[in-house]
Structure 1
Amino acid sequence: MAFKLYELSAQYQQLIDLISSSDTERPEFTDTLESIEEAIDDKLENTAKVIRAIEAEANAIKVEEERLKKRRQALEGNADRLKDYIFQTMQATGKDKVKGAHVGLRLQYNPPSVRLLDEKLVPAHYLVEQHPTVDKKALLADLKNGIAVEGVELKREQSLRIV
């Protein structure tokens, strides 16, 4: 009968509780405890193997995404260069419209926009205030060096590493 990992963990904890509450030493407890530990170790290792397989597939997808992103960017660049070529040619020849059998082309004005010539000369009432952000790297360095900083604490959490 194959047990699930959480079932094995519960059995292990029950046995530990039974051993710690018992006054007499019973050798069968040790054998049972070792067999549950082996089963847990096997389940954990097999789960880690599944994690590695999933991560390998995710990495393969990531590599493919990067390849497709580069291809998309190259195609977009080609399209932008060709648009600019058409734009320059239409401007140079004075054409505002070209009506083709399948595609029409037209030069048009875009909505008005602002171009900053010198940001220092812009009146203060046009400036937007920025909220300060916390420099977490500097805070971490100070906390590691034993400097107490009000409003923060140094924390250290555990995580799983599959080796």
Structure 2
Amino acid sequence: MATLYELTGSYLKLLEYAEDADPTLYHDTMDSITDAIEDKAVGYAKVDKELAKDEVALKEEAKRLSARATAIANNRKRLKRNLQDSMAAIGSKKIKTLGFTIYIQRNNPSVNILDEHEIPDYLYETKQVLDKKRISTMFKEGKDVPGAELTHSESLRYR
């Protein structure tokens, strides 16, 4: 069976020869190509539906694994915090064994914001983000927006 690409090429070539061909032969050939393209389209739709199911299942599995990884990370933090608290309570900064050297290290200083409103403006990062909804509304109101245009696209749907 021919590929969709080959069938499309045959269809387009047949359209080019439409005026020169015998009308009956032309219509029969056109119908056979159209039927073959429809069969391919149905096959594509079935494959796409199966892929969509796989996509959903994989996304759900990714969510499940992500939640599991988060739970494990929280357990690790809790274990480390408990051990650190216990070491601090007994005044031990270091435990050395054959398998591990466990110690409490002083970290680099970090900034703690006490009141965000007291911080001067020049210490804030500013990011410009385009408001596409507002631009779209302006176009729909008939206003011009330099550097932008309203476009229409097409997409394939199955029912």
Counterpart CA distance in 2 for 1:4 and 1:58 is 25
Q: Deviations over 1:22-61 (max 9, x none)?
A: 4x86222111111110000101111221222222223222
Identical aligned pairs, as a percentage? 35
Could you tell me how far 1:67 is from its partner in structure 2? 1.0
Look up the SS of the partner of 1:43 in the other structure: helix
Counterpart CA distance in 2 for 1:123 and 1:141 is 35
Pair 1:111 & 2:108 matched: yes
What is the root-mean-square deviation in Å for CA atoms of aligned residues? 2.2
Against the structure 1 CA distance between its residues 124 and 54, is the aligned structure 2 distance closer, same or farther, given a 3 Å change threshold? closer
Any unmatched runs of 5+ in structure 2? none
Among 129, 134, 139, the residue aligned to 1:138: 134
**1:10-159 to 2 correspondences below 5 Å:** 10-19=9-18, 21-22=19-20, 26-122=23-119, 127=123, 129-159=125-155
Any unmatched runs of 5+ in structure 1? none
TM-score normalised by L of structure 1:
0.84
TM-score normalised by L of structure 2:
0.86
Counterpart CA distance in 1 for 2:34 and 2:148 is 40
Equivalenced residue count is 159
Counterpart CA distance in 2 for 1:89 and 1:131 is 44
